[in-house]
Amino acid sequence: MKTNTKQTPSWSDTNWRAVASHMSKGFKDAVNLSSTVNFFVKSDKLQKLFVQCFLLNGAIFVGSVVILDYLAAPIFVSAFGGSTPSNETMLHDKTVNTLSRSFSLLKNDANVKFFWIYPLYTLSFLFNAIWYGEIAKISYELNEKRKAQIQRRAGGTPAPPAQQAPNLSFRKAIVDKITDQIYLNILLLFFVIQQSVASYIPFIGTFLEFLTFTWYSAFYSFQFLWSYHSEINLQKQLEYFERHWAYMLGFGAPPALASYFFPFFINAGIWAMLFPVFIVLAIRSSPPSIKGDMPPLHVFHYSKKVSNFIITCFKRTQQKRSRTLQQQQAAQEVQSVKFNLPKTE
């Protein structure tokens, strides 16, 4: 058994029944909404946060996009888009012209997005980042209590909560965490770019774009769970994800299906509105172990290459700048020493 885990299986030896089973397990875990009901029942704060996410992303953001694009703009265009009949009075002409100028923003999609959609999208993004973290924290604590209760009922000793790795100093742990977060943001940025590029591939572009979006949804969901395990650094997270690619494909399918087939801003609002549920589901999930008959799928291969290249270039630039500063300081010290040397007769 140990030999199988060390050797990388080939695709020719892949157990496709196991792949289908893992995908099915991931999909079932992602739609197991009954498992999250207890969390929402036990925590009033969790209920409040979920309602806030629903109102901001669903009612306000998606609602405003739908109203502007599908109600207000068509009504205005049909009412004021045509020419005014010649037998209308001058007063009516002035009224129509005034209304036309006042509501001209509705006819200009760029103006609507600039003055309303983009600011609201940015605002919701900032609030979501805060709320998602709080939802994950509460859900993780509730899940740890649940697992401890199950172990006590079974007569076992509850496992201690995850703590900081003992072999790392606090300062190094903070630096590593910040470094991982910067690298993660760069990685996900290029993964999204990879998704957009894939959509332009003839015949299979739409399928590849959806596939990439599915894995993105799953990875982002599990990010909140992994953040509470300091021993699982970003590299281990990526390796784990690429080993469990079939399960993650199944888990990411429901949020992707719910927010893929609409225009961009509606998709973004629906995804942000439903995402708190998948944070809880990821924390409650139990991915099956890999038995060696399923090779890893390097989903982040190209994103990692580009991210590593950028990080390497940045480090080289910083090292070059540091050497230049050191040389300048050394030259200044030499000049100051020469200037302060006593003159010989």
| Residues present in the chain in total | 345
Alpha helices in 227-300, H assignment, sequence order: 234-243, 245-258, 264-284
Q: What is the predicted pLDDT for the residue at 85?
A: 45
- Residue 335: inside a domain, yes or no? no
Question: Which DSSP category does 165 fall into?
Answer: -
Residue 15 per-residue DSSP state: -
Structure tokens at 249: 């494909």
| Helices then strands, each counted (H, E), the chain | 16, 0
* 119 pLDDT higher than 90: no
Does residue 5 lie within any of the structural domains?
Answer: no
pLDDT in tens, 305-339: 998 898 888 888 888 888 888 887 877 776 766 66
pLDDT interval class at 221 (50, 70, 90): very high
Say if 187 falls within a structural domain.
yes
- What dihedral angle (degrees, nearest 10) is formed by the CA atoms of 231, 234, 235, 237? 80
Residue 7 within a domain: no
Q: How many CB atoms lie within 10 A of CB 215?
A: 23
Structural domain contains residue 330: no
Number of structural domains the chain divides into: 1
pLDDT tens for residues 239-297? 999 999 999 999 999 999 999 999 888 999 999 999 999 999 999 998 998 887 788 99
Give the whole-angstrom CA distance, residue 105 versus residue 109.
7
pLDDT band at residue 101 under the 50/70/90 scheme: low
Question: Residue 8: inside a domain, yes or no?
Answer: no
Q: The domain containing residue 198 runs over which residues?
A: 28-317
